[in-house]
Amino acid sequence: MPEIIRPYRPDDREDLGDVCVRTAAAGADATGMLTDDALWPALFLYPYVDRHPDLAFTVERDGRPAGYIVCAPDTAEFETWFRDEWWPAHTERWPHAGDAFGREADLVRYAYGRGPAATAYAARHPAHLHIDLLPEVQGRGWGRRLVDALVAELRTRGVPGVHLAADPANTGAVAFYERLGFDRVAEETASAVFVRAIA
């Protein structure tokens, strides 16, 4: 079957959760890195497809999802919703990590700390995205097509710009964003931040 890009469908959810886990370690497979692999999509995928399924696109290969792009068009609004509605429904499964060490504890603390925050780039680039592709569909133009599909949709909604945060260790992703016209504007604790205007 041919590879295609199509809008997200609810029956993609489990397969895309697998894509999220298999690309979460700076683009490599993070399966087994945490005691509960489901934490990755609970932070970086499921909130987006639940809140904004109309801004999610899937790469399908051989009849199954092999990549995706998801987006929040208004980051401040989305992060408020994440803090007040999404994450409270998950705190029993993932209680606060306190002072524990390790990647999983850091992710749980990140979840509890999410909320709207003022940044220098968010006013002009209020949307933010996440994109992940399995290795078998990387390097073949599907990432660019996903970004193009999302940007076209954001343009119709009058969104002026989009930003994202990437792991600097994922050098392939960093180069990819630069090729697609994203500008690197800031570095946060463990992330490189990129922005792109939407004309």
Summarised one tens digit per residue, pLDDT across range 102-144 is 999 999 999 999 998 877 788 899 999 999 999 999 988 999 9
Cβ contacts of 159 within 8 Å, gap of 6 or more = 73, 126, 127, 198
pLDDT score at 188? 59
pLDDT digits (tens, 9 = 90+) for 19-76: 999 999 988 999 999 999 999 999 999 999 999 999 999 999 988 999 999 999 999 9
CATH number of the 4-159 domain: 3.40.630.30
Give yes or no for a contact between 128 and 151, defined as CB atoms under 8 angstroms apart. Answer: no
pLDDT score at 172? 84
Q: How confident is the model at residue 173 (pLDDT cuts 50, 70, 90)?
A: confident
Average of pLDDT values for 152-178? Answer: 91
pLDDT score at 139? 87
pLDDT score at 116? 87
Average of pLDDT values for 75-88? Answer: 97
pTM for the predicted model, two decimal places = 0.93
Give yes or no for a contact between 180 and 149, defined as CB atoms under 8 angstroms apart. Answer: no
- Asked whether residue 186 carries a pLDDT value surpassing 80, the answer given is no
